[in-house]
Structure 1
Amino acid sequence: MALGPVAGLWERLSGWQQGQVEAMAQAELTRLAGMLERPEMAQRLLADRFTDRLEETGGEALVDRPFPWLMRRGLVQRQACSDRRCDDGIRLDTGAECENCGNVVHIRRAKIAAEVDRQLPGLTEAERRRVFEERLREQAALEAEDFVWRREQARAEQARRDAARAAARKRAEREHEAAAAADAVRQALPCEDCGQDRAAGLCEACDHRRQTETLIGEAGLIAAAGSADLTDPGNVAAVTAGARTSIGDSIATAWQEFLQITDVAALEANPEAAEDAYACAAFQTAQQAVQEYQDNALVMLGRTEEAEAEARRAYKAEQGRPWFQHNPNGAGAVAAATKAADAARERVAGYLLATRLEQLRESPPPAPSRPWPRRGRTGCRSSPRARWTAVRPGR
């Protein structure tokens, strides 16, 4: 409720600025509630203050810098007199005009009268009153003119912003239409691998096949990084090939399990659906294999001398903490030291895996043939029936 009148300014603030304004507004609400007989009116009073200050400014459109305006003008109580309950000549606790400010206004009028006497001495009472009233009217006219000017500026600024928003909407519509047209063209493209019509350049099965090939290659590198001798290309190639073969066997097993719970006759009647199902099963199996090979590699690298040495150092360092010096072999010290050692071992294993993978990627082993046949460019499939009947139970 309190920030409602300045919602437009609030939207132009950054997250940090909004936090600062919110904190200051909450502090001001707490202060106002402390001086009111009805503390629940604090939010309404602060909202009225924002409304009045915006009217003085000429509207939100004339606020070029919302954050300073809110912090230094909108949220700040302006005492027109010495009374702490006064805000722009209005009593916060009663809502009536501040009596003390009446005295201030009287003093100001007296000051203008004194200026008239000083600048124009010797005037008669009637002439003095006439000059005094003329100056008051001039001052009021200047303030009214300034208000009109600020209001016109606010209207012009609002019109400019409306025009900018309209132009932005039209530009967004054009961009959306262009993107939709480009997407329609892309959707009409045939598959790059199998030639399937309207496949957006790559059908789902071929996309899964590509990703599976990438995952199998990554799993092979991870397996080599975890256990192979990187100085022996033959050993690296053997470990990589073993990982690929193992994943291929896992894919075949997963496919056989899938066939056991599905209608094989329906797959035989729809070879394309069978290809899609096989590619999806292979992709999911390869994903799981990459994670398993990574976990195994980290375990194996965690047993290396480098990892064990770092674990021992971390264990001793944790035991040497000031709060464990009185009993370094106590249960608490041993538990904390063991936890620090395990963390250090895992950290070194992760570093070694990343380093060895980078070394392997610089000179990767030759990739063997793919673990399944691919579709032809013409869209014909390379014996899809043979694939699922070969692993079908009883065949």
Structure 2
Amino acid sequence: MDEPGLDVGPESAPQLLADRLTRRLTETGGEAMVAKPFGWLRGRGLVRRPSCSDRRCDDGIRLDTGESCESCANVLHIHRARRAQMRADIDRELPGLADGERRRILERRRRERVATQAENFARDQEQVRVERARREAARAEAAEQTEHARRVAAAAEAVRQALACEDCGRGRVAGLCEACSYRRRTETLTVETGLLAATWAAVLDDRDDIDAVIAGVRASLEADIKHAQREFLESVEPGELDTDPVGAASVLAFVALQTVEAALSDYRSNALERLGRTAEAEAEARRVFRTEQNRRWFRHNPKGADAIAAATKAADTARERTVEYLLTTRLEQLREQTVVRTEQVPAARWTGRLHELAARLLDTDTAGEVIA
């Protein structure tokens, strides 16, 4: 009796079952009319018989309250209203009929109505079945497409994993080995560091001056990288790198990348500081300082401490904003010039540098030179 949605607790189950058995015995005609008690209990006596769609209904009685089911009353009212409407329609269409003929026509129309409702129900059920089959077919097709896409992606990934490194030619590294990936990133950041230095140290329309600044930064970074790699090689046990030359190359390339990343942060801070002392930044700071100092709430005492503090804060903010703008615009200008020069000299593929790679020494005494 403790079914979900019935709002009936286990403590009321015995009384509800007793009432149900009493009603069912009365319908049967008493205990004497029950020939097979066990079969009667399972098939009729204990079975809940809802008279409507409400789960709390049992023979038109609410299981939770014991009162008459309102839903059943509504259903009965609707049936009675339809029956009355059918009688009215017959009286209007066929006036003067005898009672017996009138009942026969009423019953025939009721049967026709029930048959129509059954046909509509069957049609609705068929539509539900078709829609369910359509959804299942769509799900199956989607699953098949997903599986196909997965297989295609797996095959493409397998092909990619089989590619040799574009830079060093090492096989089956998905087109780029770990060490060369670090080297590429290091090269990109080296160029970016040089551009940061050129934003304040070079004449932006003089390519030779820009190249000289970038070359100087590159030389400084290469020296820092060699120093960092030398310190790493000195920190490991002798012969430790011989067991895994590929891993050693990756580690040293990563050391180089970390060195350049640290330098990039320092160069950026330096560039911001230098650009903060340019004429553009100074002029914008002075303009904002005067504007803030002359606001109406400071006009009575523009030289006071509050006015000076507010104007100084606004000027510093304006200077920072101007410095960021100068850095962004100058970097964009320098990158455009760098891209133009890079496009004029196409990069050589690794297959064209095999003779150079083959000439490299692989003994541990020159590991630093090889990896760098």
- Bin of the TM-score, shorter chain as denominator length: 0.5 to 0.7
* Residues 193 and 377 in structure 1, CA contact (< 8 A), matched pair in contact too: no
Match of 2:236, SS state, is coil
- Structure 1 CA distance, aligned partners of 2:136 and 2:269? 58
- Structure 1 CA distance, aligned partners of 2:127 and 2:310? 68
* Residues 165 and 173 in structure 2, CA contact (< 8 A), matched pair in contact too: yes
Note the 1:185-200 alignment, pairs <5 A. 185-200=159-174
Match of 1:231, SS state, is coil
Note the 1:240-319 alignment, pairs <5 A. 240-268=214-242, 270-312=244-286
Q: Mind listing any 5+ residue stretches in structure 1 that lack a counterpart?
A: 1-35, 37-90, 368-373, 391-395
- Structure 2 CA distance, aligned partners of 1:121 and 1:335? 103
Give the total of aligned pairs: 295
Does residue 1:159 correspond to 2:137, yes or no?
Answer: no
Match of 2:69 among 96, 114, 138: 96
- Structure 2 CA distance, aligned partners of 1:319 and 1:208? 52
Structure 1 counterpart of 2:335:
361
- Structure 2 CA distance, aligned partners of 1:197 and 1:127? 98
* Residues 221 and 260 in structure 2, CA contact (< 8 A), matched pair in contact too: yes
Match of 1:377 among 351, 354, 367: 354
- Structure 1 CA distance, aligned partners of 2:179 and 2:300? 65
User: Could you say what the CA RMSD is over the residues aligned between the two structures, in angstroms?
Assistant: 4.0
**Alpha-carbon displacement from aligned partner over 1:49-84 (angstroms, at most 9, x marks no partner):** xxxxxxxxxxxxxxxxxxxxxxxxxxxxxxxxxxxx
Q: 1:383 to 1:160 in 2, by over 3 A?
A: same
* Residues 188 and 197 in structure 1, CA contact (< 8 A), matched pair in contact too: yes
> TM-score w.r.t. structure 2 length?
0.64
> What percentage of aligned pairs have identical amino acids?
50
- Structure 2 CA distance, aligned partners of 1:307 and 1:125? 107
Does residue 1:235 correspond to 2:209, yes or no?
Answer: yes
Shift of 1:336: 6.6
Q: 1:153 to 1:327 in 2, by over 3 A?
A: farther
- Structure 2 CA distance, aligned partners of 1:204 and 1:339? 47
**Alpha-carbon displacement from aligned partner over 1:308-338 (angstroms, at most 9, x marks no partner):** 4444555666678899899988988877766
**Alpha-carbon displacement from aligned partner over 1:252-303 (angstroms, at most 9, x marks no partner):** 2322332343224212565433322211111222233333323332333233
* Residues 230 and 368 in structure 2, CA contact (< 8 A), matched pair in contact too: no
Does residue 1:177 correspond to 2:151, yes or no?
Answer: yes
* Residues 312 and 341 in structure 1, CA contact (< 8 A), matched pair in contact too: yes
- Structure 2 CA distance, aligned partners of 1:145 and 1:349? 80
Q: Mind listing any 5+ residue stretches in structure 2 that lack a counterpart?
A: 1-6, 8-61, 343-349
- Structure 2 CA distance, aligned partners of 1:108 and 1:133? 13
Which structure ranks higher in relative contact order (CA pairs < 8 Å, sequence separation ≥ 6)?
A: 1
The letter for the 2-side match of 1:382 is R
- Structure 1 CA distance, aligned partners of 2:121 and 2:228? 79
* Residues 194 and 380 in structure 1, CA contact (< 8 A), matched pair in contact too: no
Structure 1 counterpart of 2:40:
none
Shift of 1:124: 2.2
Shift of 1:186: 2.7
Match of 1:363, SS state, is helix
Q: 1:237 to 1:153 in 2, by over 3 A?
A: same
- Structure 1 CA distance, aligned partners of 2:206 and 2:152? 54
The letter for the 1-side match of 2:360 is S
Please identify the structure whose Cα radius of gyration is greater. 2
The letter for the 2-side match of 1:357 is L
- Greater CA drift, 306-315 or 146-155: 306-315
Does residue 1:224 correspond to 2:202, yes or no?
Answer: no
Note the 1:24-103 alignment, pairs <5 A. 96-98=69-71, 103=77
> TM-score w.r.t. structure 1 length?
0.61
Shift of 1:224: 0.8
- Structure 1 CA distance, aligned partners of 2:75 and 2:296? 66
- Structure 2 CA distance, aligned partners of 1:205 and 1:226? 33
Structure 1 counterpart of 2:326:
352
- Structure 2 CA distance, aligned partners of 1:190 and 1:104? 80
Structure 2 counterpart of 1:55:
none
- Structure 1 CA distance, aligned partners of 2:114 and 2:268? 81
Match of 1:141 among 79, 90, 115: 115
Does residue 1:118 correspond to 2:92, yes or no?
Answer: yes
* Residues 229 and 368 in structure 2, CA contact (< 8 A), matched pair in contact too: no
* Residues 226 and 296 in structure 1, CA contact (< 8 A), matched pair in contact too: no
- Structure 2 CA distance, aligned partners of 1:288 and 1:160? 60
Q: 1:175 to 1:140 in 2, by over 3 A?
A: same
The letter for the 1-side match of 2:233 is L
- Structure 1 CA distance, aligned partners of 2:200 and 2:334? 11
Match of 2:92, SS state, is helix
* Residues 226 and 298 in structure 1, CA contact (< 8 A), matched pair in contact too: no
The letter for the 2-side match of 1:183 is E
Shift of 1:220: 0.9
Match of 2:214, SS state, is helix
